Amino acid sequence: NICLDDQSSKAAKILVQGFQGLKTIRIHQEAICTEVVTAILSHHNTLSMIASFHPTANVFNSKEPRPLREEEDEDEEDDEEQELPFHYSQQQQQHQQQQQKQRERSDSDWIWQIIPRCCPRLNKIDFPTYEMDMDEAEKVPWACKDLFELRIRIRGLNTAAKIEKAINLWLKERDNSFKRTWLRHELEMASSKSDNESDNDNDNEKSDDEGQDNKKKRKWTKDNMKHVSKKLKADDDVGDDVGDVDAEVDVGSKQQKQKQKQQQQGDQVKDPQCDPSKDDVDKDQECDPPKDNADKDNGDANSVVDKSVKDQLADIVVIAEDDTSIEARVARHLLKLESLCSVWLGTRIYHSWEIIP
């Protein structure tokens, strides 16, 4: 641990040469400069806490945020009382002063932002006297994803109502992120289940097509054999004697009567939807029960589940994408720090497990 209240190069040399593996550094806000921050970064692999000296004891329990610009307002009044050069108008003087202050603020914001951007092991930032600019904070994400406690001020959140609104947005969206994760998991499970069922249906259809092709081949072979046998029989009939014609006619008439009798018996027994005299292919096509009813029911159920899950995902959105208010920007920044549990932005300390009214 080390405490710094000097902005000179001596403090930077002490940080670099006098210590190794620092975990905690407490420093005055006025002591932050390029040399000191560069020296702090020499301990970026071990630094877990960086803090400043608290101005008052009850800074973390106040109804309204304390103003941080009182000294600057007094300086502005003193500057107005000073005598201006003859070649400078009052408006030009004020414009130059404002530009100078903006440059100083941007420099301090950029310098301070280097610490959370380059120190991945930080779990506590305690700077109640620092006012962070969201424009600078949104340029580069912070590397300290395991940050547990954050105590800073944010430019633009200057009332208790704004701070409470930003905290409520953060807590609600944090709670909804867990719900969205669970709903997305349910949606992925339902979609994977429907994909597996469709793959099984495709495999069954493919096997059915192969079986029908084999049946058609067998039918074609049987038809050819019947045709060949009939032709051979006809040739044998032509080569018979003339005296056997009457006997063949009698035999043919008997066979015809037997066929008619069999057809009559078949008409009485056969199912009107299933004809046993047809080939195997016709039986498979006409006698099979409909297969699409169960698949249709499953598809309807899956579609209903997907629709309900998507509706729930759409209903739990708290922060709109086009919301550019300072409260929404702060909430988005806090949501990127998934391990964050304690936040102070000017009034009191809020915790991630608090119940949202």
- CA angle, corner 339, sides to 310 and 171, nearest 5? 55
* CA 26 – CA 6 distance, rounded (Å): 12
Q: Is the dihedral of CA 125, 57, 69, 7 positive or negative?
A: negative
Q: Indicate the pTM of the whole model.
A: 0.58
So what's the pLDDT on residue 18?
Answer: 83
Among 131-140, 191-200, 261-270, top mean pLDDT goes to 131-140
So what's the pLDDT on residue 140?
Answer: 92
pLDDT digits (tens, 9 = 90+) for 102-134: 555 556 778 889 999 999 999 999 998 889 999
Report residue 143's pLDDT band, with 50, 70 and 90 as the boundaries. very high
* CA 292 – CA 203 distance, rounded (Å): 15
Strand-pairing partners, residue 131, are 153
pLDDT of residue 253 exceeding 60 = no
So what's the pLDDT on residue 101?
Answer: 56
Among 46-50, 64-68, 189-193, 250-254, top mean pLDDT goes to 46-50
Domain boundaries, the chain: 2-70+109-155
pLDDT of residue 295 exceeding 90 = no
So what's the pLDDT on residue 9?
Answer: 72
Q: What is the mean pLDDT of residues 197-207?
A: 61
- Between residues 341 and 80, the one the model is more confident about: 341
83 DSSP assignment = P
